[in-house]
Structure 1
Amino acid sequence: MSELPNESNDSNQSDDSTELATSQDSQYSAKPAENTPDAEPVQPTPPYNRGNANADKSARVKKALLAGLALIVLAVIAYGLYKSNQQSELEIITLQGQMQMQQTSIAAKVPGRIAQIMVTEGDTVTAGQQLVEMDSPEINAKINQARAGKQIAQSQLDKAENGARPQEIAQAKAAWQANKAASDLAKNTYQRVNRLYEEGLMARQKRDEAYAQYLATEDQTEAARLQYDLALEGARSEDKSAATAQVAQVDAQLDEALVAKEEANLKSPIAGIVDNVIVSAGEVIGQGVPLLTLVDTNDQWVVLNVTESYLNQFAIGQTFIGTIPALSSADKPYSKQFTVYATSTLSDFATWRPTNNDDGFDVRTFEVKARPSTPDTRIRSGMSVIVRINPTPINQNQE
């Protein structure tokens, strides 16, 4: 019981010391406030709790791990979708070809001036239709010259075939008869002179002169008879053949000039469409110069460049489907069936060569030509054709 006052004293002393420290702190904290009248009152600092800080740090780590795991899962899914799309894209090979049509260039065979062009680009023409009219005075002059030569040659042939005229025949006959009468007179005279010579009443000289005169008149009579026979017979067969050949030669020259004039008026050799008109009316053109081009819409084909890895899908006689974008619409593609009719290898520039042995072997490129099942007049040269095929490596077809 005697210790109780001491304990109260100790407690009083501790309370006093506590109040003293508190008052000192109040004084220290109040001093700045006197210098700064606008300063805000100082908030008391909460006591530090170590257990709550550890719990917050653990929660943040867990969230980070979950976020990282989610990102990894998403990356794996995206990579799988990418590979899947890439694999699906590799399943279809797209080839681009080009439509072509048979083109015919119309050129002049003879020089001249273009008088008139009777067609325009895009016109449909038929075989034999006149396209261009030309004016060539040189051709007209050759035609006139050939016709005059033909008249001369024909006259010579007619003369050779018809023979001498009746008047010429009568004249030859009269000359023969006159010479025959003179020959008969010379013969009688020679006979009388010869009898007188044998009787010794006439000199031998006179007899010889009469005999020479008789022989001369006989020769003249024979020549006149031959002239009469020629007049009756007409020209020789050789002369007739020569005259006939001359007429044929002149006919050929005339035909050549007429053909040249016909060729000057150019006509279409095929049925098709006028693709391009190169010249204009009034121009002077030379021989062999192209004037316009025609395309045959019934002779169409597509050309594809295919590597030999896919050539097994384009064997001769095999069919495939091609789409023509130029004739397609947004909701309806224009597709046609084509049949392969020719394949040929391209030059070495179209060969892919490996850089080392591990890359494989050389791959050649082939040109494939295919015709549509039914031609379409709307198709034009140069239109693209899209062909989609499935990849089939070479080693899959080997047994």
Structure 2
Amino acid sequence: MKYFSLTLFVSLLLTGCPESREKPLQGQVEFDEIDLASRLSSRVKEVKVELGDRVSADQVLVILDDDLIAIRNERAQATLEQASLQKKMTDDATRKEELSQLAAAEAMARSQWDFARQSLKRAGILFEKDAIARQQWEEIIAKEKGARAQYEMAKARWEAGRNGARDEQKAIAAANLVQAETGLAEVSAYHKDLQLSAAAEGTVHAIHARPGELVPQGFPLVTLLDQKHPRLSFYVTEDRLALFRQGETYTAVIPALQDMALKVELVRIQVLPAVLTQVVTEDRAARDIRSFELTFKPLDAAVPLQPGMSAVLVPGERK
């Protein structure tokens, strides 16, 4: 690794290089933070790590109390039993009381239709002899049709009752059973969350709760720092953006590491919100200058970078 004075490095770039060289940029080292949170509200039972600990993937960091899970499990079990009984009742045949009512309604409708047919037959004979008016004859025909429709409807209901519950009722009962089974499975999944494990390798950066504290759902209990993937962030106005090209390699200096020179690759150029970063030019009517964030990835993973370390980068110094 190459070491040299930061003052000398910057002086050479500013005085010994062409005037077209730009002044160095000031930036900092950053890391991604990973918050470890619970999917349920519970009380912290044990915190198994301390600040600065290096943890591996799937390592248990926090253990939560299981009182609420036990209550939810009992409720889910009761709901499942109720849904199972409801589905069994629906799948069974219609109750005897309901069948009796449907049978009586079918018999009454059949009787009324029989009477309407007999009336239609007698009225037909009288109409052929011109003994009744056409209007009266047509009314008797309409009544017979109505009685027949009522009988067919009552018969269909009675047959459906003999065959058991309607398809819609069976579908509803089946859906309720699936919902109850899903609820029980959800509680089982929550039970796994009583032991919160690291999603990836990292360093314990912050601990937000201690044993005995009650934490709400989604509250971050531990924050991990992903030190395996550092990045350097710099900010430039768009009038200097042409000095950088994504994918190319540059040299950055880390003052905290004795002015260590570090090769970095430009991996992202992202515009910043205009309301926060616009710079008003002299010619206001022409345009305002936007600002951009430049993200660089160190090419040497062995460098002991820490979050917040300052960094210096000179535009145009490509490697």
Q: 1:383 aligns with which of 295, 309, 319?
A: 309
Where do 1:168-183 residues align within 5 Å? none
Matched, 1:337 2:272: no
1:349 Cα deviation (Å)? 6.2
Bigger relative contact order, structure 1 or 2 (CA pairs below 8 A, ≥6 apart): 2
1:114 Cα deviation (Å)? 0.4
Structure 2 length-normalised TM = 0.59
1:367 aligns with 293
Assess, with a 3 A threshold, how the Cα gap between structure 1 residues 159 and 348 changes in structure 2: closer, same or farther.
closer
Matched, 1:315 2:241: no
Structure richer in helix, relative to its length: 1
- CA distance in 2 between counterparts of 1:246 and 1:362 reads 60
- CA distance in 2 between counterparts of 1:284 and 1:250 reads 28
Q: 1:305 aligns with which of 230, 235, 240?
A: 235
Assess, with a 3 A threshold, how the Cα gap between structure 1 residues 291 and 377 changes in structure 2: closer, same or farther.
farther
Q: 1:105 aligns with which of 6, 25, 35?
A: 35
- CA distance in 2 between counterparts of 1:130 and 1:162 reads 49
1:96 aligns with 26
- CA distance in 2 between counterparts of 1:257 and 1:138 reads 10
Structure 1 length-normalised TM = 0.49
Where do 1:265-304 residues align within 5 Å? 265-304=195-234
Q: Which amino acid counterpart does residue 267 of structure 1 have in structure 2? A: S
Assess, with a 3 A threshold, how the Cα gap between structure 1 residues 154 and 379 changes in structure 2: closer, same or farther.
same
1:284 Cα deviation (Å)? 1.4
1:115 Cα deviation (Å)? 0.3
Q: Which amino acid counterpart does residue 388 of structure 1 have in structure 2? A: V
1:117 aligns with 47
2:77 aligns with 147
Q: Which amino acid counterpart does residue 211 of structure 2 have in structure 1? A: A
Does the Cα contact within 8 Å between 2:61 and 2:197 map onto a contact in 1?
yes
Q: Which amino acid counterpart does residue 309 of structure 2 have in structure 1? A: M
Counterpart secondary structure, 1:273: strand
| Equivalences, count | 239
- CA distance in 1 between counterparts of 2:186 and 2:39 reads 12
Assess, with a 3 A threshold, how the Cα gap between structure 1 residues 254 and 274 changes in structure 2: closer, same or farther.
same
Assess, with a 3 A threshold, how the Cα gap between structure 1 residues 346 and 98 changes in structure 2: closer, same or farther.
farther
Q: Which amino acid counterpart does residue 372 of structure 1 have in structure 2? A: P
Q: In the TM superposition, what whole-angstrom CA distance separates every residue of 1:342-365 from its partner, at most 9, and x where no partner exists? A: 2325646656656799xxx97654
Matched, 1:251 2:181: yes
Where do 1:1-399 residues align within 5 Å? 87-88=15-16, 93-157=23-87, 240-326=170-256, 328-329=257-258, 333-345=260-272, 347=274, 365-376=291-302, 378-389=304-315
Q: In the TM superposition, what whole-angstrom CA distance separates every residue of 1:258-290 from its partner, at most 9, and x where no partner exists? A: 333333433333443321112211111223322
1:320 Cα deviation (Å)? 0.7
- CA distance in 2 between counterparts of 1:368 and 1:147 reads 55
1:98 Cα deviation (Å)? 0.8
1:122 Cα deviation (Å)? 2.6
Q: Which amino acid counterpart does residue 294 of structure 2 have in structure 1? A: V
- CA distance in 2 between counterparts of 1:356 and 1:278 reads 50
Counterpart secondary structure, 2:193: helix
Counterpart secondary structure, 2:212: coil
1:325 Cα deviation (Å)? 2.9
Does the Cα contact within 8 Å between 1:297 and 1:376 map onto a contact in 2?
no
1:304 Cα deviation (Å)? 0.8
- CA distance in 2 between counterparts of 1:160 and 1:302 reads 65
Assess, with a 3 A threshold, how the Cα gap between structure 1 residues 347 and 158 changes in structure 2: closer, same or farther.
closer
Q: In the TM superposition, what whole-angstrom CA distance separates every residue of 1:108-130 from its partner, at most 9, and x where no partner exists? A: 33222100112222333344433
Does the Cα contact within 8 Å between 2:246 and 2:268 map onto a contact in 1?
yes
Cα RMSD, aligned residues only: 4.1
Counterpart secondary structure, 1:310: helix
Q: In the TM superposition, what whole-angstrom CA distance separates every residue of 1:107-163 from its partner, at most 9, and x where no partner exists? A: 333222100112222333344433221114233112112113323433454566688
Does the Cα contact within 8 Å between 2:255 and 2:311 map onto a contact in 1?
yes
Q: Which amino acid counterpart does residue 386 of structure 1 have in structure 2? A: V
1:95 Cα deviation (Å)? 2.0
Does the Cα contact within 8 Å between 1:111 and 1:136 map onto a contact in 2?
no
- CA distance in 2 between counterparts of 1:267 and 1:365 reads 39
- CA distance in 2 between counterparts of 1:325 and 1:109 reads 42
Give ranges in structure 2 of 5+ residues lacking alignment: 1-11, 95-157
Q: Which amino acid counterpart does residue 264 of structure 2 have in structure 1? A: Q
How high is the sequence identity, in percent, across the aligned residues? 26
Does the Cα contact within 8 Å between 2:264 and 2:296 map onto a contact in 1?
no
- CA distance in 2 between counterparts of 1:105 and 1:239 reads 46
Q: Which amino acid counterpart does residue 266 of structure 2 have in structure 1? A: T
Counterpart secondary structure, 1:335: strand
Q: In the TM superposition, what whole-angstrom CA distance separates every residue of 1:29-80 from its partner, at most 9, and x where no partner exists? A: xxxxxxxxxxxxxxxxxxxxxxxxxxxxxxxxxxxxxxxxxxxxxxxxxxxx
- CA distance in 1 between counterparts of 2:275 and 2:207 reads 37
Larger of the two Rg values belongs to structure? 1
Counterpart secondary structure, 2:211: coil
Assess, with a 3 A threshold, how the Cα gap between structure 1 residues 337 and 158 changes in structure 2: closer, same or farther.
same
Does the Cα contact within 8 Å between 2:38 and 2:218 map onto a contact in 1?
yes
